C-alpha cells in the first residue's frame, strides 16, 4: 500500500488499483483530498501493470461535497476542475465506488469517472442551489447527459438527493453492489471492464437533447417556489446550455454563471445562513462537557393551536407525550385536530397510515396535571395570561419529578417571573415554538436568569431531534422575533394612518420577499387576539374591524375581503375606515413611497435587533437572522435582517433613521450599537 498523502492511499490488487480517500468526517474535497486524487492518478498512469482504477472512500461516506470553508479564500492545491478533467481524460478506466452520500463536488467527481457503482443505501445529489450556487465543476453539463433534462432540472434546482436505486434506474449509477461488499464488487466491476475491453465511457461525449419548451414550462411550474432566488434560474440556464450547446461551450456558460452567483449577494446570504444555523447551537458560556438530561416522556399542557402542534413534533420523533386539558371537549377537539393533521399528511403520501397510528398511539390524553408526574419535560401552552401560567407552574412544581425541565411556550411573558413561583427556577426555561408548531422550524429557547446549563444543553439537543433550529434568547418582551415584529407592526400601522393603504404595505413587504405582509399576517392570525367585544371602544382600526365582525380570514373579512378559497381582495370598506381614521386623528394624508414603506418597516426592525444584541438578548447577529429565516420566512437570499443591514450599509441605515427621526421623532432613534458600528465602517457580521 502506498500512502499518497495524509488523506489518500493507493493499493494494487492484481491489475486494479484502489485509490482510497480518508478525510473524516465526510471526505469533503479539501486541497489535500484533491491533491490525493491527482497523486493517485499520476501513480496509476505511471504503473503499466495497473489497467483500471477504483475511487472509493473510507468512513461513512463518499465525497460529500466541497470544503465550503475554502470559499472566498485563495485556491490551494490542485483545482477541482483539473482533477475532474484528469479523471475523465484518463486513459485507463476509472470506476467510482459510492456509499453514504455523493454530493456536490463529490457527485461531480463521480460523474467524471467512466463508471459508477453504488450500494443501495447510497444517495446522490447536487445541493449547490441551497447555498445560492450551481454545481460549478461540470455537474450541470454531465448530469443531464446521463439522466436526461427533466430529471437534471429537478435535481439541480431543488438540490435534493436521490437514492442509489433510482439513480441506477436513471443511468446515473451503472451497477448496485451488495451493501457490505462495495470495495470487492467495484474491483470486480473494474476487472470486467478491462476483460471486456470496453471503450471508456466519457460522459462529456454522450449527447443530450430536450423537448422544445421544456425549460419555459419548468420555469412556469416552479415560478412561485423560485421567486426572488437567482440560483434556480442560473441552474436552469446551465442545463439549457447542456442541451443546446457543445460540452465545452456548456462548461463556459456554467463557469460564467457560477462566478456570478459566487460573487453575488444572494449566495453570500445563503452561505451566511448555513453557518448561522451551526453557530446558533453554540452557547458561549456553557461549561465544557455539560451533559444533557435524559428525556423519555414529554408532557404538554393545553391542546389548543400551539399545544397540539408542539405535541406532534415529539410524537413524530417517537417520544411518548401526555397532553393535559381542562375539559373533555377541548381535549377531544385538540387531539382530533392532531389526528386529522396526520391523516392529511398521509393522504398526501408523505407518511404511511401505520405512522399515523404509531404517532397517535404514543399520545396519552389527560384531564389531570397529576398525570405529568413522570415526565422529563413539560411544556406549558395555555392562554397568554401570567396569572394562569403562574398557577400552573406552582402546581407543576408540586407534581412533576425532580430534575424534569419545566418550559413555557409564552410569546411575550417574563420567564423569570414564571420560574420564580417554583422551587426550581434552574429547571425552567422558555420553549417558544412558532405557528404552525409542527411545521415552522424555529424554536426560540428562552434562557432565564437561573436556567441551568444542562437544561439548555438538553433543549438544544431535543430541538435537533425534532427537526427544529434552536436559537437562544434572553428574557425580554417578545424575545428576539416578536420583539422585532412588534416594531414592524407599529410602523405598518403608522404608515396607513399617514397615507398608505394596508395593501400598499403588504405589497412592498412581499415584493421584498416575505411570505406575507403585516396586514395579511394579522388577518391570518385573527384580528381579535387579545380583543374583546365588551371592552372595545371603537378607537383603533382593529377595534372598528372587529366590531363589524371583520376578524380576519376566519370570518372571510379583515383588512381584506376573502373568497371561499381565501384569496384576498382590497376592501373598499376598509379603505373608507382607513381614511376616516386619519381624518379623526387630524392627519393630513400624503403619498408614501415604496422606499419609505420598506425602510420604515425593516430599518426599525434592524434597529431593534441592534438593541437586542447590545442588551445581550441574542448572542450574535446571525442568531437574529436565523430567527427571522426559520420563524417568519425572511427571504434566505437576503440572509436575514442583520445580514441584509450589512448589505445595505449601516451608515445608510443610520442616516435614514435620522431622517425619519427628524420627521417623526423618537421612534427612529438609532441604537448606540448601530451608530457605533456605522461610525467605524463595520457591519453586524464583519
Ligand atoms: P389556544 O387558545 O389555541 O390554546 C390554549 C389551550 O390551553 C386551550 O385549549 C385551553 O383550553 C387550554 N388551557 C387553558 N388553561 C388550561 C389549564 N389550566 N390546563 C390545561 N389547559 C388549559 O392558544 P395558543 O394559540 O395555542 O397559545 C398558547 C400559548 O402559546 C400562549 O402562551 C401563546 O402566547 C403562545 N404562542 C402562540 C402562538 C400562536 O401563533 N398562536 C405562537 C407562539 C406562542
Contacts 24+ apart (CB under 8 A), 651-657: 651/678, 651/681, 653/603, 653/606, 653/607, 653/678, 654/678, 656/599, 656/603, 657/603, 657/604, 657/607
Write out the E strands in 83-217. Answer: 94-98, 101-103, 115-118, 123-125, 162-163, 175-176
pLDDT at residue 1 above 70? no
Query: What pLDDT band is residue 67 in, cutting at 50, 70 and 90?
Result: confident
Element (H, E) at 470: strand 469-474
Residue with cell 452561505: 271
* Mutation to probe ligand 1, out of 305, 323, 393, 441 (largest number of atoms < 8 A from CB): 305
Output the residue whose Cα is nearest ligand 1's atom 4.
Answer: 304
When mean pLDDT is compared across 40-54, 73-87, 428-442, the lowest value belongs to 73-87
DSSP state of 131: G
Query: What pLDDT band is residue 531 in, cutting at 50, 70 and 90?
Result: confident
307 CA: nearest ligand 1 atom: 26
pTM for the model: 0.93
User: What distance in angstroms lies between residue 305's CA and the mean position of ligand 1's atoms?
Assistant: 7
Output the residue whose Cα is nearest ligand 1's atom 40.
Answer: 435
412 CA: nearest ligand 1 atom: 34
pLDDT at 547: 94
Beta-strand relationship, 52-57 and 16-21? parallel
Spatial distance between the Cα atoms of 333 and 340, rounded to a whole number of angstroms = 11
Angle between helix 594-614 and helix 621-632 axes, rounded to 10 deg: 130
Average pLDDT of the segment spanning 535-550 = 91
Average pLDDT of the segment spanning 475-492 = 97
Average pLDDT of the segment spanning 449-478 = 98
DSSP 44-60: HHH-TT--EEEEEE-TT
Output the residue whose Cα is nearest ligand 1's atom 22.
Answer: 302
Q: Mean pLDDT in the chain? A: 96
User: What distance in angstroms lies between residue 383's CA and the mean position of ligand 1's atoms?
Assistant: 4
User: What distance in angstroms lies between residue 381's CA and the mean position of ligand 1's atoms?
Assistant: 5
Judge contact between 143 and 236, C-beta under 8 A: no
Average pLDDT of the segment spanning 558-574 = 95
Query: What pLDDT band is residue 619 in, cutting at 50, 70 and 90?
Result: very high
334 CA: nearest ligand 1 atom: 9
Query: What pLDDT band is residue 663 in, cutting at 50, 70 and 90?
Result: confident
* Mutation to probe ligand 1, out of 300, 324, 391, 411 (largest number of atoms < 8 A from CB): 411
Per-residue pLDDT reduced to its tens digit, 296-326: 999 999 999 999 999 999 999 999 999 999 9
Q: Which of 3, 85, 128, 534 is catalytic?
A: 128
Backbone φ and ψ of 471, nearest 5°: -130, 130
* Mutation to probe ligand 1, out of 300, 301, 306, 530 (largest number of atoms < 8 A from CB): 306
Measured in whole angstroms, how far is the alpha carbon of residue 683 from the centre of its chain? 23
pLDDT at residue 542 above 70? yes
pLDDT at 630: 98
Rg for the chain, CA atoms, rounded: 29
Judge contact between 501 and 559, C-beta under 8 A: no
Backbone φ and ψ of 406, nearest 5°: -110, 115
Beta-strand relationship, 16-21 and 8-13? antiparallel
- Grid coordinates in use for 413? 411573558
* Annotated catalytic residue 108: yes
DSSP state of 125: E
Nearest to 302 by CA among 333, 324, 328, 332: 324
Per-residue pLDDT reduced to its tens digit, 347-382: 999 999 999 999 999 999 999 999 999 999 999 999
Lining ligand 1 with CB less than 6 A are 301-307, 324-326, 330, 334, 381-384, 388, 392, 409-411, 432-435
Judge contact between 383 and 410, C-beta under 8 A: no
Output the residue whose Cα is nearest ligand 1's atom 17.
Answer: 326
* Annotated catalytic residue 179: no
| pLDDT above 90 as % of the chain | 94
More confident residue, 649 or 76: 649
User: What distance in angstroms lies between residue 311's CA and the mean position of ligand 1's atoms?
Assistant: 13
End-to-end Cα distance, the chain: 47
Torsion angle defined by CA atoms of residues 518, 524, 527 and 528, in that order, rounded to the nearest 10 degrees = -150
pLDDT at residue 454 above 90? yes
* Mutation to probe ligand 1, out of 382, 389, 412, 441 (largest number of atoms < 8 A from CB): 382
Spatial distance between the Cα atoms of 113 and 87, rounded to a whole number of angstroms = 6
Average pLDDT of the segment spanning 16-23 = 98
Q: Which of 13, 85, 108, 240 is catalytic?
A: 108
Query: What pLDDT band is residue 71 in, cutting at 50, 70 and 90?
Result: confident
Amino acid at each position: 500500500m502506498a500512502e499518497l498523502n495524509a488523506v489518500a492511499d493507493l493499493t494494487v490488487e492484481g491489475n486494479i488499483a484502489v485509490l482510497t480517500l480518508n478525510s473524516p468526517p465526510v471526505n469533503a474535497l479539501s486541497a489535500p483530498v484533491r491533491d490525493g486524487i491527482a497523486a493517485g492518478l499520476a501513480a496509476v498512469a505511471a504503473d503499466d501493470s495497473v489497467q483500471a482504477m477504483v475511487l472509493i472512500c473510507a468512513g461513512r461516506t463518499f465525497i460529500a461535497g466541497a470544503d465550503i470553508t475554502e470559499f472566498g479564500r485563495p485556491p490551494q492545491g490542485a483545482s477541482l476542475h483539473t482533477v475532474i478533467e484528469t479523471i475523465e481524460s484518463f486513459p485507463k478506466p476509472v470506476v467510482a465506488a459510492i456509499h453514504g452520500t455523493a454530493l456536490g463536488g463529490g457527485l461531480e467527481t463521480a460523474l467524471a469517472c467512466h463508471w459508477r457503482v453504488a450500494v443501495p443505501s447510497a444517495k446522490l445529489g447536487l445541493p449547490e442551489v441551497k447555498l445560492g450556487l450551481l454545481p460549478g465543476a461540470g455537474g450541470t453539463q454531465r448530469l443531464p447527459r446521463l439522466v436526461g433534462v427533466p430529471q437534471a432540472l429537478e435535481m439541480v434546482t431543488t438540490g435534493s438527493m436521490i437514492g442509489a436505486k433510482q439513480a441506477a434506474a436513471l443511468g446515473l449509477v451503472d451497477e448496485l453492489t451488495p451493501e457490505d461488499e462495495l470495495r470487492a464488487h467495484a474491483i470486480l466491476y473494474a476487472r470486467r471492464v478491462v476483460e471486456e475491453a470496453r471503450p471508456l465511457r466519457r460522459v462529456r461525449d454522450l449527447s443530450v437533447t430536450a423537448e422544445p419548451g421544456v425549460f419555459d414550462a419548468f420555469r412556469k411550474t416552479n415560478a412561485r417556489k423560485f421567486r426572488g432566488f437567482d440560483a434556480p434560474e442560473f441552474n436552469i440556464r446551465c442545463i439549457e446550455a447542456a442541451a443546446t450547446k457543445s460540452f465545452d461551450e456548456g462548461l463556459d456558460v456554467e463557469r460564467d454563471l457560477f462566478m456570478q452567483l459566487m460573487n453575488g449577494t444572494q449566495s453570500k446570504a445563503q452561505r451566511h445562513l448555513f453557518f448561522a444555523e451551526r453557530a446558533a447551537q453554540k452557547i458561549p458560556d456553557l461549561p465544557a462537557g455539560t451533559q444533557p438530561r435524559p428525556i423519555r416522556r414529554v408532557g404538554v399542557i393545553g391542546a389548543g393551536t400551539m399545544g397540539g402542534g408542539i405535541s406532534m413534533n415529539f410524537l413524530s420523533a417517537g417520544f411518548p407525550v401526555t397532553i393535559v386539558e381542562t375539559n373533555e371537549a377541548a381535549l377531544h377537539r385538540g387531539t382530533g385536530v392532531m389526528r386529522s393533521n396526520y391523516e392529511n399528511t398521509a393522504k398526501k403520501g408523505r407518511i404511511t397510515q401505520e405512522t399515523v397510528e404509531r404517532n397517535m398511539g404514543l399520545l396519552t390524553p389527560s384531564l389531570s396535571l397529576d398525570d405529568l408526574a413522570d415526565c422529563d419535560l413539560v411544556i406549558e401552552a395555555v392562554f397568554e395570561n401570567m396569572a394562569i401560567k403562574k398557577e400552573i407552574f406552582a402546581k407543576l412544581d408540586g407534581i412533576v419529578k425532580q430534575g424534569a425541565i419545566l418550559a413555557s411556550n409564552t410569546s411575550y411573558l417574563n420567564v423569570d417571573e414564571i420560574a420564580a413561583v417554583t422551587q426550581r427556577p434552574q429547571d425552567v426555561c422558555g420553549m417558544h415554538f412558532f405557528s404552525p408548531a409542527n411545521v415552522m422550524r424555529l424554536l426560540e429557547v428562552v434562557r432565564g436568569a437561573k436556567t441551568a446549563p444542562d437544561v439548555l444543553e438538553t433543549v438544544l439537543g431535543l430541538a435537533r431531534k425534532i427537526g427544529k433550529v434552536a436559537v437562544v434568547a434572553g428574557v425580554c418582551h417578545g424575545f428576539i422575533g416578536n420583539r422585532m415584529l412588534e416594531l414592524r407592526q407599529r410602523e405598518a400601522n403608522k404608515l396607513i394612518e399617514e397615507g398608505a393603504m394596508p395593501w400598499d404595505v403588504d405589497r412592498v413587504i412581499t415584493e421584498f420577499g416575505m411570505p406575507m405582509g403585516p396586514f395579511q399576517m394579522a388577518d391570518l392570525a385573527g384580528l381579535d387576539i387579545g380583543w374583546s367585544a365588551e371592552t372595545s371602544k371603537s378607537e383603533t382600526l382593529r377595534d372598528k374591524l372587529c366590531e363589524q365582525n371583520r376578524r380576519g380570514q376566519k370570518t372571510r373579512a379583515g383588512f381584506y375581503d376573502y373568497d371561499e378559497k381565501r384569496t384576498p381582495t382590497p376592501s373598499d370598506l376598509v379603505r373608507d375606515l382607513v381614511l376616516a381614521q386619519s381624518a379623526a386623528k387630524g392627519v393630513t394624508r400624503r403619498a408614501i413611497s415604496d422606499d419609505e414603506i420598506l425602510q420604515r418597516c425593516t430599518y426599525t426592525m434592524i434597529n431593534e435587533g441592534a438593541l437586542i444584541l447590545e442588551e445581550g438578548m441574542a448572542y450574535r447577529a446571525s442568531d437574529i437572522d436565523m430567527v427571522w429565516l426559520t420563524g417568519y420566512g425572511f427571504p434566505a437570499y437576503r440572509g436575514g435582517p442583520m445580514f441584509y443591514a450589512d448589505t445595505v450599509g449601516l451608515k445608510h441605515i443610520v442616516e435614514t433613521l435620522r431622517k425619519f427621526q427628524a420627521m417623526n421623532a423618537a421612534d427612529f432613534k438609532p441604537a448606540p450599537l448601530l451608530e457605533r458600528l456605522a461610525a467605524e465602517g463595520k457591519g453586524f457580521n464583519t
